């Protein structure tokens, strides 16, 4: 599981809730959250969900919507933000990890200021953004990344 997502969940939630992974990929984080007692669901191109378009889950509302390393790939990143907002319950949290624009290995066009602005313009409050260095130790990678982490909640 994304260790930063795991820490965020432990810090923000007293008990497991419902979570939605936007761009779930191999559904690893979904499986890990389910093992922690959450009711976690994921959507991806494999589940025929195009995150460039609006998506309303039939299981909404969620306590947590998160997305790891997806938003930087989208032509319309604002659509992912709108989708997250529409699927969250009031007081629900958003967690996003992306490669920052300054990352030489992540091919991202999004930065802290842009993503923060998208969140505020779409109704999120308590927006927190940080960029940090992370060493990607996976086989075939072995390099540093500049990670953009953004959290916010729906009032």
Q: The pTM is what?
A: 0.96
CB atoms under 10 Å from CB of 40, counted, come to 24
24-57 tens-digit pLDDT: 999 999 999 999 999 999 999 999 999 999 999 9
Q: Are 37 and 17 in contact (CB under 8 A)?
A: no
Report the pLDDT value the prediction gives residue 5, as an integer from 0 to 100: 97
Report the pLDDT value the prediction gives residue 105, as an integer from 0 to 100: 78
| Nearest of 91, 80, 93 to residue 122 by alpha carbon | 80
Domain locations along the chain = 3-154
**Please, what CATH class does the domain formed by 3-154 belong to?**
alpha beta
130-145 tens-digit pLDDT: 999 999 888 888 889 9
Report the pLDDT value the prediction gives residue 138, as an integer from 0 to 100: 84
Cis amide leading into 154 (omega within 30): no
């Amino acid at each position: 599981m994304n260790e930063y997502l795991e820490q965020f969940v432990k810090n923000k939630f007293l008990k497991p809730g419902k979570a939605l992974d936007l761009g779930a990929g191999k559904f690893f984080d979904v499986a890990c959250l389910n093992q922690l007692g959450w009711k976690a669901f994921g959507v991806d191109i494999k589940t025929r969900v195009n995150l460039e378009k609006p998506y309303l889950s039939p299981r909404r509302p969620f306590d947590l919507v998160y997305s790891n390393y997806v938003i930087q790939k989208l032509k319309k990143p604002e659509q992912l933000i709108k989708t997250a907002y529409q699927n969250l319950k009031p007081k629900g949290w958003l967690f996003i990890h992306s490669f920052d624009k300054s990352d030489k290995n992540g091919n991202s066009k999004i930065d802290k200021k842009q993503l923060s602005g998208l969140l505020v313009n779409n109704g999120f409050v308590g927006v927190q953004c940080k960029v940090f260095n992370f060493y990607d130790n996976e086989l075939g990678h072995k390099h540093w990344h500049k990670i953009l982490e953004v959290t916010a909640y729906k009032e």
